[in-house]
């Protein structure tokens, strides 16, 4: 059956449908309504309130005519039943309706009823001509007074005139013609009270009641989540859980010495639990693939070091990778403090090193003299050869993909992988995104940390901010000032970092002011950062390059200019740069007096909480998962009907059901799962390609 077999679909219309991705009648029924008009309430005219209620009215048109001139021109028709009169008005499509609405004929009107003085009125009602108003034609009335699906109509099919009404007709035809096979096992349908697939399509395109539609839609959501979870469970069992990994059982005592002698503080509960989970993984004989989520400042670096030392203790090398050179360099410096006393040999590998030095480092790595290599993600792309790579730490990046992990695998003997992220995400999202990773979470922060005081400051109060900053500087504190853009943009008249830098230098002549932005070379950036760390610079003016990971405990004030232009997670990350020392820290969010509702909501959340998990959740709600994660590369599966945020509960059910079915029937060989298997296998293949594992 072809699209053009359906009455009313001309070759031109078929082409328009095809261009929109609807190629067959079967795909036509996958096109779900955008919303519904509930036209079921038929009222006699004297029962109408005129308070904006929606109703269907059946009657005879007793008068019809145009009135007004020019732009005020309109068509009016009086619909009359035995209890009263209603005036319908059209401001658009006048010539069309003048032909359609005829005096003395019978009609059903559906629309919003309003009262203007004595008149009840309906603007632009939905109209259907009837053969009679009496009950002998009840069927006809009922067909109109139903729940009517509304499809994205003609505007969707750009140049071709395809209305919602036409789509409805065609889809109903298809539903009568084609047989829709079921693939969910019958016992599941019974358990959840879902209609079979064919019925579910009818309940989507022609529901008798909202409840019926809701259940049918849930079935389609469940269906896709269930297939997804089946593939997740299968892949995890077949592929990820089977990858062998180096067995590490601590034959040298560096780890113990690190925790007992070098580390100046007690581990938090979250750090202990996570290290325990990692220890368990690396002894298991299978490769660790673990995501560590912990807020900024929760102490993930210590966990990373502990993990790397465990690897070294067992005779392996470890790498630690950061998204930028600045961060890699900073990691390198903080490692020095803790690893030097242990006599661990660690090297920094970044892009801007001299050739001779680079050669030397590479030799160290391939020869096995280097225990730890710190660098950017480029480490795994480069010609780097490891002697015996056993552990890879990936910092501040939750988007480290499967492809990159495959590259890593080639560098070593299936090294254990720990991905660390400071952007915590809700469980349902983590479940779908990182289905191949095990998860650790650090929820607690190291003790004794002072709460950061956060304020929203408006432009007219800038003088107060100025005095405040001066006081903090006089106490010996340091200040971050962050701007959203590097250069002036014509469209948005923002103060930018360079301009801000010049101004701040004038305002605080007794202090050293530094500038940091993305267009500087790695070396320039590092110099400025080092100067700030050493307190040779007191005020650091910067773009968001300082966003992640930078650690200067003496800096106690973060001023964010044009705070309304930053995303919520970004603001949280920025705020995480302070509150790292013994001083009371302050986060000053500068804004214009005017701001959008969303911006106000973001700033409100910043004032309300410092909990990264709550902030991430609020951010996710405001932006949606695609934006939150940066769509394409996020690896987020695209669901047609389900929404991983609002359907979290259904996702859990789908997961449990998938686990249960694969537990009792691992290969789906049971005849009652035959139809499911037929749909599932191609789906699984697709997923495997996605994971580059087939």
Q: Which residue is associated with the tokens 């004038």?
A: 506
Q: Which helix (H) or strand (E) holds 120?
A: strand 119-123
Which residue lies nearer to Mg ion by CB, 246 or 424?
Answer: 424
Binding residue (CB under 6 A) for ligand ADP from 16, 77, 227, 302: 302
Q: What are phi and psi of 477, to 5 degrees?
A: -80, 170
Chain residue at closest Cβ approach to ligand ADP: 299
Which residue lies nearer to Mg ion by CB, 185 or 549?
Answer: 549
Site residues for ligand ADP, window 30-69 (CB under 6 A)? none
| Residue 302 interacting entry, from ligand ADP, Mg ion, none, C-beta within 5 to 8 Å by type | ligand ADP
Binding residue (CB under 6 A) for ligand ADP from 33, 59, 185, 294: 294
Distance between CA atoms of 472 and 550, rounded to whole angstroms? 20
Site residues for ligand ADP, window 521-560 (CB under 6 A)? 551
For the CB of residue 304, give the shortest distance to ligand ADP in the complex, in Å: 8
Which residue lies nearer to ligand ADP by CB, 472 or 580?
Answer: 580
Site residues for ligand ADP, window 217-236 (CB under 6 A)? none
SS3 at position 58? strand
SS3 at position 347? strand
Q: Which stretch binds ligand ADP (CB under 6 A): 296-304, 454-462, 518-526, 652-660?
A: 296-304
For residues 146 to 175, the per-residue mask of contacts with ligand ADP, x marking binding by CB under 6 A and - elsewhere, is ------------------------------
For the CB of residue 445, give the shortest distance to ligand ADP in the complex, in Å: 8
Chain residue at closest Cβ approach to Mg ion: 549
Which residue lies nearer to ligand ADP by CB, 33 or 270?
Answer: 270
Crossing angle, helix 210-235 and helix 648-664, to 10 degrees?
Answer: 50
| Cβ neighbours around 37 below 10 Å, total | 17
Binding residue (CB under 6 A) for ligand ADP from 296, 370, 392, 419: 296
CA distances from 111 to 37, 54, 108, 123, 144 (A): 9, 5, 10, 7, 12
Q: Which stretch binds ligand ADP (CB under 6 A): 225-233, 238-246, 261-269, 366-374?
A: 261-269
Task: Look at the alpha carbons of 684, 690, 691, 693 in this order and tell me if their dihedral is positive or negative.
Answer: positive
Which residue lies nearer to Mg ion by CB, 164 or 573?
Answer: 573
For the CB of residue 159, give the shortest distance to Mg ion in the complex, in Å: 53
Radius of gyration of the chain (CA): 33
For residues 396 to 425, the per-residue mask of contacts with ligand ADP, x marking binding by CB under 6 A and - elsewhere, is --------------------------x---
Strands annotated E in 504-646: 513-516, 539-542, 555-560, 586-591
Distance between CA atoms of 208 and 145, rounded to whole angstroms? 11
Which residue lies nearer to ligand ADP by CB, 39 or 572?
Answer: 572
Site residues for ligand ADP, window 421-480 (CB under 6 A)? 422, 446
For the CB of residue 395, give the shortest distance to Mg ion in the complex, in Å: 6
For the CB of residue 494, give the shortest distance to Mg ion in the complex, in Å: 29
Half-sphere exposure of 685 (CA within 13 A, CB side): 5
For the chain, give me the number of helices (H) and strands (E)? 24, 21
Distance between CA atoms of 187 and 118, rounded to whole angstroms? 59
Distance between CA atoms of 68 and 54, rounded to whole angstroms? 27
Is 268 a binding residue for ligand ADP by CB under 6 A? The answer is yes
User: Residue-wise over 155-165: b if at least 16 C-beta within 10 A, else e?
Assistant: eebeebebebe
CA distances from 329 to 343, 359, 530, 617 (A): 19, 18, 10, 31
Which residue lies nearer to ligand ADP by CB, 234 or 551?
Answer: 551
Site residues for ligand ADP, window 558-587 (CB under 6 A)? 580
Binding residue (CB under 6 A) for ligand ADP from 119, 161, 177, 265: 265
Contact footprint for Mg ion (CB under 5 A): 549
Crossing angle, helix 597-608 and helix 568-575, to 10 degrees?
Answer: 30
Binding residue (CB under 6 A) for ligand ADP from 300, 405, 416, 525: 300
Footprint on this chain of ligand ADP (rule: CB under 6 A): 265-268, 271, 294, 296-302, 422, 446, 551, 580
């Amino acid at each position: 059956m072809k699209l053009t077999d359906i009455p009313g679909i001309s070759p031109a219309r078929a082409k328009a449908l095809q261009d929109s991705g609807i190629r067959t009648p079967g795909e036509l029924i996958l096109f779900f309504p955008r919303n519904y008009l509930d036209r079921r309430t038929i009222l006699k005219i004297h029962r109408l309130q005129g308070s904006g209620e929606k109703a269907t009215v059946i009657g005879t048109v007793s008068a019809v005519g145009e009135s007004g001139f020019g732009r005020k021109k309109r068509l009016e028709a009086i619909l009359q039943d035995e209890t009263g009169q209603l005036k319908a008005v059209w401001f658009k499509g006048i010539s069309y309706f003048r032909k359609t609405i005829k005096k003395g004929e019978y009609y059903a009107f559906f629309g919003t009823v309003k009262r203007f003085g004595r008149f009840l009125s309906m603007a632009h009602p939905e109209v259907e001509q009837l053969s009679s108003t009496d009950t002998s034609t009840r069927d006809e009335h009922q067909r109109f007074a139903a729940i009517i699906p509304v499809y994205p109509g003609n505007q969707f099919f750009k140049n071709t005139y395809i209305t919602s009404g036409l789509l409805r007709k065609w889809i109903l035809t298809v539903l009568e013609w084609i047989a829709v096979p079921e693939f969910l096992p019958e016992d599941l349908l019974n358990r959840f009270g879902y209609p079979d697939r064919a019925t579910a399509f009818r309940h989507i395109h022609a529901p008798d009641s909202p409840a019926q539609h809701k259940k049918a839609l849930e079935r389609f959501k469940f269906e896709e989540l269930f297939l997804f979870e089946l593939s997740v469970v299968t892949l995890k069992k077949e592929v990820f859980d089977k990858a062998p990994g180096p067995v590490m059982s601590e034959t040298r005592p560096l780890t113990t010495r690190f925790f007992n002698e070098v580390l100046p503080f007690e581990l938090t509960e979250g750090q202990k639990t996570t290290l325990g989970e990692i220890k368990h993984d690396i002894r298991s004989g299978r490769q660790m693939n673990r995501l560590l989520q912990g807020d900024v400042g929760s102490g993930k670096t210590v966990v990373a070091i502990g993990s790397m030392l465990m690897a070294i203790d067992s005779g392996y090398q470890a790498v630690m990778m950061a998204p930028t050179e600045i961060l890699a360099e900073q990691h390198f410096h903080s490692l020095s403090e803790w690893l030097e006393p242990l006599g661990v040999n660690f090297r920094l590998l970044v892009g801007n090193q001299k050739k001779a030095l680079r050669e030397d480092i590479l030799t160290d790595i391939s020869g096995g003299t280097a225990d730890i290599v710190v660098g950017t993600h480029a480490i795994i792309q480069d010609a780097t050869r490891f002697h015996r790579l056993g552990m890879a730490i990936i910092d501040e990046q939750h988007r480290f993909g499967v492809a990159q992990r495959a590259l890593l695998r080639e560098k070593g003997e299936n090294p254990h992988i720990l991905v660390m992220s400071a952007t915590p995400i809700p469980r349902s999202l983590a479940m779908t995104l990182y289905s191949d990773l095990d998860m650790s979470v650090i929820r607690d922060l190291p003790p004794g940390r002072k709460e950061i005081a956060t304020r929203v400051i408006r432009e007219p109060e800038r003088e107060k901010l100025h005095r405040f900053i001066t006081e903090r500087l006089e106490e010996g504190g340091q200040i971050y000032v962050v701007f959203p853009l590097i250069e002036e943009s014509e469209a948005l008249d923002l103060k930018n970092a360079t301009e801000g830098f010049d101004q701040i230098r004038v305002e605080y002549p007794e202090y050293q002011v530094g500038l940091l932005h993305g267009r500087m070379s790695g070396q320039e950036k590092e110099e400025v950062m080092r100067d700030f760390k050493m307190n040779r610079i007191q005020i650091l003016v910067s773009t968001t390059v300082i966003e992640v990971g930078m650690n200067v405990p003496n800096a106690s004030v973060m001023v964010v200019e044009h705070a309304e232009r930053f995303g919520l997670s970004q603001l949280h990350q920025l705020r995480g740069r302070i509150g790292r020392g013994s001083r009371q820290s302050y986060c000053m969010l500068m804004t214009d007096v005017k701001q959008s509702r969303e911006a106000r909501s973001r700033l409100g959340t910043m004032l309300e909480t410092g909990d990264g998990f709550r902030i991430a959740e609020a951010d996710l709600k405001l932006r949606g998962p695609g934006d939150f994660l940066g769509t394409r590369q996020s690896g987020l599966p695209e669901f047609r009907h389900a929404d991983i945020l609002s359907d979290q509960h259904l996702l859990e059910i789908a997961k449990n059901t998938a686990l249960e079915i694969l537990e009792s029937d691992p290969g789906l060989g049971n005849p009652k799962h035959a139809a499911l298997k037929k749909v599932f296998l191609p789906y699984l293949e697709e997923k495997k390609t996605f994971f580059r594992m087939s």
